[in-house]
Amino acid sequence: MTGIYEDILGTVGDTPVVRINKLAPDGIDLFVKLEAFNPMGSVKDRLALGVIEAAERDGSLKPGQTVIEATSGNTGIGLAMVCARKGYPLVVTMAENFSVERRKLMRFLGAKVILTPASEKGTGMLAKAIELAEKHDWFLCHQFENEANADMHSRTTAPEILRDFDGRRLDYWVTGAGTSGTLKGVSRVLKKERPETKVIVCEPDNAPIIGSGAPQAYLDNGMPAKSHPYFRPHLMQGWTPDFIPKLAHDTIAAGWIDEVAPIKGDDALEYSRRLATEEGIFCGISGGATFAGAMAIAERAPKGTAILCMIPDTGERYLSTPLFEDVPEDMTDAEKEIAASTPRYRFDVAPEPPPADGKAAPDAATPKAVAFVDQVVTSTDEPVVLFALEWCEFSWSIRRMFADIGVAYRSVDLDSVDYQEDNWGGDIRAALRERISVPTIPQVFVGGEHIGGCTETLDAFNKGRLQSLLSDSGLSFAAKDVDAYSYLPKWVHPR
């Protein structure tokens, strides 16, 4: 992509094709199309833009109308981007077993995310979306049967592939199947323009709903009537809902699929990790699964074969999934050995003392600062006071706790712009230190009584002392049965 775009939507599509070097068998030209280069990191950005713009053109989506869709996450993230730019409220329904990162991304983009029980599977989150759309007269995207989904790929993804492989061999095109918009939209173009190219569809080996050949029951509007009998829970988020989408059914009926490749979950994890460590390509579980299918083809194909594999998204939205469960947060033994190879900046060695000519402590507090601290600490209008640093994680731990229990407080952020002139924040800190003989920040007072720093305040909450002081100061708060240490940063206290 080059040049200046009028808005973010202009950056959807035109994703790169990259050669695989270390992992490709000798004599095989293996390529991947990296859909993570879309602005929200997945192939579903294309779907989102195509569906919304088609609905705008035909009038089924009214200005300001709420958009709703059932999604495992990537479609919802793409829709959240499109709706944010175009000004449509968005509600997403999503089964609770999909990754937490996806929920947060959608909410960060302004969407509302309604979770449905994992036991109800994809049909459950779809049924909830339908129910909400009918109740509130919202626009339902119908991504699993909406022709605008496939049309977008016929207009963008397929021509990009034809352009990039113009004058080159392309023997196999390998993809997964979620909504099957990519599958239908690209395969119908390839079968017309590059009939020699075989279309390979990957699906979980334990949920072979396409490969089984068993029919899917549909309602008159093309939506699934019930779960497919061969569906089982599987690892590949975004692949294979518990039904065969109409777009996939159309592709099967047209005869555009040459082979269905069953993929093991372990192979999906392995190739996602190997793509990262051996090729520098960062993708999710579904990308690793699709690449496993491409590798199976590559290992049996004759030399000179050219294979293109779709990699649908990036790996960052899988941090809470099994893909990252073996990636440690703390230093490994090998990393500790590297750290110990030089003498300084180590957890197992005390820091060096300050230079002998350095100041042992800041200057004494000014009378003005002493009076300010006394006035703030003893105020009856704002009995809860937090002396803090604006972006200190421990200060934020206290803020999170106060916000969670609904307590109003005054925060004196000593390093903020408001306290920088003439080192006013430093003077206040010196006055505070003289008052309590403690140099560290944050420090908390309730009703004029000094509670302490971060851990002391958390301890006071866990023991009930903080709640008593709040009550004595006439403050109401929400009773919470929670370990206050859960408010600490994860690197200090994993939640």
pLDDT for the residue 493: 57
Q: Are residues 204 and 80 in the same domain?
A: yes
79-97: average pLDDT: 96
Task: Looking at the structure, tell me whether residues 290 and 159 fall in a common domain.
Answer: yes
Q: CB–CB of 453/440 below 8 Å? A: yes
Predicted pLDDT at 360: 41
Of the two residues 357 and 415, the one the predictor is more confident about is: 415
Same domain, yes or no, for 371 and 296? no
Residues 342 and 371 in one domain: no
The whole-number pLDDT of residue 353 equals 64
Residue 328 in any domain: the answer is yes
Strand ordering across the sheet containing 90-95: 112-116, 90-95, 67-70, 139-140
Residue 203 · residue 260 · CB < 8 Å: yes
Grouping H, G, I as helix, E, B as strand and the rest as coil, residue 477 is: coil
Residues 319 and 396 placed together within one structural domain of the fold:
no
Is 394 part of a structural domain of the chain?
yes
Only one residue has tokens 């309730």, namely 446
Known catalytic residue: 272? no
Considering its fold, how many domains does the chain have in total?
Answer: 2
Per DSSP, 313 falls in state B
Q: Does residue 356 form part of some domain? A: no
Average of pLDDT values for 148-170?
A: 98
pLDDT in tens, 297-310: 999 999 999 999 99
How large a percentage of the chain has pLDDT more than 70? 97
Q: What is the pLDDT of residues 117-126, one digit of tens each?
A: 988 888 899 9
Rounded alpha-carbon distances, angstroms, from residue 204 to 201, 208, 230, 350: 10, 6, 11, 52
Given this model, what pLDDT does residue 357 score?
44
Flag whether pLDDT at 490 surpasses 90. no
For residue 1, what pLDDT is reported?
Answer: 63
Give 169-189 as a DSSP string: ---EEEEE-SS-HHHHHHHHH
Most confident segment among 81-90, 419-428, 472-481, 486-495: 81-90
Answer whether residue 220 is part of any domain: no
Task: Indicate if 312 and 387 belong to the same structural domain.
Answer: no
Decide if 217 contacts 224 (C-beta within 8 A). yes
Mean pLDDT of the chain: 93
Between 494 and 412, the higher pLDDT residue? 412
The 8-class DSSP code of residue 10 comes to: G
pTM as predicted: 0.82
Domain membership flag for residue 358: no
Over 90: is that where the pLDDT of 206 sits?
A: yes
Best CA proximity match to 76, nearest among 104, 36, 35: 104
CB-CB neighbours of 426 under 10 Å = 17
Residue scoring higher pLDDT (165 or 222): 165
Distances (CA, A) of 45 to 36, 113, 141, 367: 10, 18, 13, 60
Tell me, yes or no, whether 333 and 402 share the same domain.
Answer: no
**Residue 413 belongs to what H/E stretch?**
strand 410-413
Whether residue 495 is predicted with pLDDT greater than 60 in this model: the reply is: no
DSSP string, 216-256: --B-TTS-BSS--TT----S-TTS--SS--HHHHHHHHHT-
Using the 3D structure, point to which of 290, 316, 346 is the last residue of a domain.
346
Are 334 and 402 within one domain?
Answer: no
Kindly state the average pLDDT of the residues 418-442. Answer: 94
Within 10 angstroms of residue 410's Cβ, the number of other Cβ atoms is: 15
- Set 227, 272, 286, 397: catalytic member: 286
Determine whether 44 is an active site residue. Answer: yes
Tell me, yes or no, whether 426 and 302 share the same domain.
Answer: no
Residue 359 lies in a domain: no
Question: Is residue 358 very low, low, confident or very high in pLDDT (cuts 50, 70, 90)?
Answer: very low
Q: Is the pLDDT of residue 384 over 60?
A: yes
Phi first, then psi, for residue 437 (nearest 5°) are 60, 30
Q: Are both 426 and 280 inside the same structural domain?
A: no
Distance, C-alpha 448 to centroid of its chain: 43
Which CATH number covers residue 106?
A: 3.40.50.1100
45 and 109 together in one domain: yes
Inter-CA distances, 380 with 123, 168, 369, 401, 402, Å = 56, 79, 19, 21, 18
- Mean pLDDT over residues 376-404, rounded? 95
* Positive or negative: CA dihedral 340, 343, 346, 349: positive
Per residue in 15-40, pLDDT (tens digit) is: 999 999 999 999 999 999 999 999 99
pLDDT at residue 432 greater than cutoff 50: yes
* CA gap 165, 188 in Å, rounded: 17
Which of 44, 121, 128, 246 is catalytic? The answer is 44
For 313-356, the pLDDT digits (tens) are 999 988 888 999 999 988 999 999 999 999 988 888 877 765 54
Which among 346, 376, 400 is the end of a domain?
346
Burial of 416 (0-12, 13-18, 19+ CB in 10 A): middle
Residue 397 contacts residue 423 (beta carbons within 8 Å) = no
DSSP 31-91: EEEEGGGSTTSBTHHHHHHHHHHHHHHHTSS-TTPPEEEE-SSHHHHHHHHHHHHHT--EE
Tell me: pLDDT of 280 over 80. yes
What is the torsional sign of CA 191, 196, 202, 208? positive
The one-letter amino acid at 91: V
Q: Is residue 311 part of a domain?
A: yes
Structure-token pair, residue 439: 């140099």
Q: Are 122 and 242 contacting, i.e. CB atoms less than 8 angstroms apart?
A: yes
Residue 248 included in any domain: yes
Q: Are residues 418 and 455 in the same domain?
A: yes
Lowest mean pLDDT among 237-246, 316-325, 361-370: 361-370
In the listed set 346, 375, 409, which residue is the last one of a domain according to the structure?
346
The CATH number given to whatever domain includes residue 422 is 3.40.30.10
Query: What domain range includes position 162?
Result: 1-213+236-346
